[in-house]
Structure 1
Amino acid sequence: MCMATRIRARLYSLIWPGKCKPRGVHRRLLLLTLGLLPVWAWAQAPAPEPAQRIVSLAPHITELVFAAGAGNRLIGTVQSSDFPKDVETLPRVGDGLHIDPETLISLQPDLVLGWQAGATQAVAPILKTLGIPLVHINPKSVQDIPDTIEEIGRLTDNNVSARAAAESIRERLTHLKQQAPTQPVSIVLEINPAPLYVVGNDPLLNNALQYCNATNQFADVPQAAPLIGLENLLANQPDFIVIRSESNRLMKERTEFLAAKGVQAARQGKVIGIDPDLLFRPGPRLIDALEQLCAQLQDQR
């Protein structure tokens, strides 16, 4: 029996145990049914032995695996994983929110690293049945990043290099705290300019700003990424605005637009551009973004 046939047989057995199974089952119906099964009982089950074949279901997890020195164990990832360059040739199992179970299982992983339970609920029961561990990685603070690197080192029996990478990050964070200016500033972290979405109640990013002695102007709103509108920005008038630095031209145009609308930070030249892949991915490069942000805040205070 070929691998694809064995996979289908295991999938069908989850829903129709016994010998009688309907033929021609629509794949979407199968996945919808599987998605209704609970995941919390096994989602955090640790790998029983060092993982050799890992699939990452989020870009930041891919980066964390490489930071732990286990990049050579990755056999698959998602479409948006683009760093480091080594991942370019890896097979893709979905877009992060929608994972293709057959593609995932055909890679024969012995460990799957996911982000949020909602994104893995369709594949969690399948992985459970096949005995493939699923571990969720979702840092809630900057300190969780080096801790997670060490955990990946444990899962892959790669403790020495993972510990070294984690300690390096902790030292950089300690240095940032020691160098943080005494004068606090308020910041708005722009996610999308039109319509205007900003970072709101995001525990990780709000924690990260503390290393620069900065606070998020919209940290207390209920949503993690609220739609605020220009009028709310004008009403709050932050000390600094952080925008996506996709190009110098776009950054200049955005600064001029905000200044023309009456945003004081833009009129004072206090607009900072940060690579969004660094800032918004909860992985090791967030520390790079923090160092850049803290340095620019210090220069322009």
Structure 2
Amino acid sequence: MLSSSALAEAPICVVDDRGRDVCMVKPAQRIAALSPGATELIYAAGAGDKVVAVVSFSDYPEEAKEVTSVGSHTRIDLERLMSLQPDLVLAWGTGNPSEQIALIERLGLTVYYVEPHEFESIARNVENMGILAGTQGQANTEALRFRQGIQALQARYEAAPAIDVFYQIWQEPLMTMNGEHYMSKVVSLCGGVNVFADSPRLIPRLNQEAVLLKNPEAILAGGMGERNAKWLSAWRAFPGLLATQRDNLFFVPPSLIQRPTTRLLEGAEILCQALETARGRR
């Protein structure tokens, strides 16, 4: 049997979203979150009081707005970051500059890559962050809440009649997502069919004609801000579009659906209800 001193010295290890073993000799005390999504996840894991650095647009929860910003996710102020002496850096694999993250690692900081593409990987990230920060109790509770909520939606809508859906991520240029994206999996969860699921690009750029040819039954969009639904107005100019004919133009607050965090459950509930409304208009 290991002695208590040996147990205390055993490293804390998890596997990040790049399949890398990330180990620490003791729970993190000073954490840098280099994307708004990573910020939400570490707070969800119960370690918000250990966050010493965030990047721009890290606006949830409210307390995150008071944490020191070290630039944007696309350009990190390394001097400021290093001055805060983080012992754990939560990096966004496809969002942060790879050369800056590589330099952070060469400088000896522990880096955990956050890049969830599945519901389960969102829950697992919360659990992993709880392990690394020593807040497993709250992290495991939140991960369980998220898993159970997703399972409940799956059970509720698995037999729902399918609806062809166009989800608009951005306006200019017009952008959506393919079937590999986690937001497309939310559409599927609710009984929707992403009309651009077979696109070869994760985030395809489109023109209006491509959407009109697909003639989706419902269009969902975020927008610039949590209450700004003006992106949907452009589709009202096409009365021949099935979604317009049936008034199936639905706004989803972008922070609830366009960040892979446990708040995605709230966004999924809104999206599912929108598609249920569309079914009722047939």
Alignment TM-score, normalising by the size of structure 2: 0.85
Match of 1:276 among 254, 261, 265: 254
In 1, distance between residues paired with 2:95 and 2:183?
Answer: 21
What's the % identity of the aligned pairs? 29
In 1, distance between residues paired with 2:173 and 2:104?
Answer: 39
Match of 2:100 among 107, 123, 127: 123
Alpha carbons of structure 1 residues 42 and 255: separation in structure 2 relative to 1, 3 Å: closer
Query: Does 1:56 pair with 2:36?
Result: no
Tell me the number of residue pairs that the alignment of Structure 1 and Structure 2 aligns. Answer: 259
1:78 corresponds in structure 2 to 55
Match of 2:86 among 101, 105, 109: 109
Two-structure CA RMSD over aligned residues (Å): 2.1
In 1, distance between residues paired with 2:191 and 2:108?
Answer: 46
Unpaired runs of 5+ residues, structure 2, are 1-17
Q: 8 Å contact 1:117–1:136 — kept in the other structure?
A: no
Match of 2:139 among 162, 169, 181: 162
Structure of higher CA gyration radius: 1
Alpha carbons of structure 1 residues 110 and 120: separation in structure 2 relative to 1, 3 Å: farther
Q: Which moved more, 1:120-129 or 1:171-180?
A: 120-129
Match of 1:134 among 108, 111, 118: 111
Match of 2:236 among 251, 256, 277: 256
Unpaired runs of 5+ residues, structure 1, are 1-40
1:91 corresponds in structure 2 to 68
In 1, distance between residues paired with 2:153 and 2:78?
Answer: 42
Q: How does 1:1-301 map to 2 (within 5 A)?
A: 45-116=22-93, 119-180=96-157, 181-244=159-222, 246=225, 247=227, 250=230, 253-257=233-237, 259-260=238-239, 262-301=240-279
Alpha carbons of structure 1 residues 44 and 78: separation in structure 2 relative to 1, 3 Å: farther
* Paired letter, 1:287: L
In 1, distance between residues paired with 2:229 and 2:195?
Answer: 26
> How far does the alpha carbon of each residue in 1:9-43 deviate from its partner, in whole angstroms, 9 at most, with x for none?
xxxxxxxxxxxxxxxxxxxxxxxxxxxxxxxx997
Higher percent of residues as helix = 1
> How far does the alpha carbon of each residue in 1:221-267 deviate from its partner, in whole angstroms, 9 at most, with x for none?
1112212211111111112110125546626633423x34x321112
Higher percent of residues as strand = 2
* Paired letter, 1:103: R
Alpha carbons of structure 1 residues 118 and 177: separation in structure 2 relative to 1, 3 Å: closer
| 1:196 CA displacement | 2.0
In 1, distance between residues paired with 2:95 and 2:251?
Answer: 32
* Paired letter, 2:93: Q
